[in-house]
Amino acid sequence: MSDIFIDTNVFIKIFNKEENYEKTIECLVKIKESGWNFKISCIVHFEILWGFELYGGNVEKYWNIIREFEIDIVPLTKNDVELASKLCRSKSRIRDYFIGATVMNRNSFLLTYNVNDFKWTKRAYTPEDFIKHYCSVEKVYDSK
């Protein structure tokens, strides 16, 4: 399979135990079992670590998810920065454009609960919608 990036808000939903966070975890498991490789942009990595610094909490939860799901942290490249600079028209959303450019330059997908914020990538899905479109039903449900 291919690589798929995870946005910050997917982690936040899990960490904060927001509504249906268990379903999010199930979706990540199903996507991983379907052969997809998880990645995060170094910008997502920064946002999560920064959040733990600002608001506290057990950062080990984050590191456990990184290990359990074998998530690679992808650095920004010169091409990512150049693409983001061409697309971004809002200072307040620059981090989203770095994340989206990283996804686009690798011809990947992005799992996010802010699909509208990333519609310009044309490859952003909620974890639930990604499963419906890109994971085989047989493979996803065989593990039950």
What CATH number does residue 63 fall under?
Answer: 3.40.50
Residue 23 lies in a domain: yes
Q: Residue 138: its pLDDT value, please?
A: 47
Residue 87 lies in a domain: no
Q: Residue 139: its pLDDT value, please?
A: 42
Residue 124 lies in a domain: yes
Tens of pLDDT, residue by residue over 87-128, are 999 989 999 999 999 999 999 999 999 999 999 999 999 999
Task: Give how far the C-alpha of residue 78 lies from the chain's centroid of Cα atoms, to the nearest Å.
Answer: 21
Residue 93 lies in a domain: no
Residue 31 lies in a domain: yes
Residue 137: pLDDT band with limits 50, 70, 90: low
Contacts with 26 (C-beta within 8 Å, 6 or more apart), sequence order: none
Q: Residue 143: its pLDDT value, please?
A: 40
Q: 């290990």: which residue's tokens?
A: 67
| Domain span including residue 13 | 3-74+109-141
Q: Residue 135: its pLDDT value, please?
A: 86
Q: How many structural domains is the chain composed of?
A: 1
Residue 92 lies in a domain: no
Residue 60 lies in a domain: yes
- Partner residues linked to 73 by β-bridges: 40
Q: Residue 17: its pLDDT value, please?
A: 95
Residue 100 lies in a domain: no
What pTM value is reported for the model? Answer: 0.92
Within 3-144, residue ranges assigned H as helices are 8-15, 21-33, 42-55, 60-68, 78-87, 94-105, 127-134, 137-141
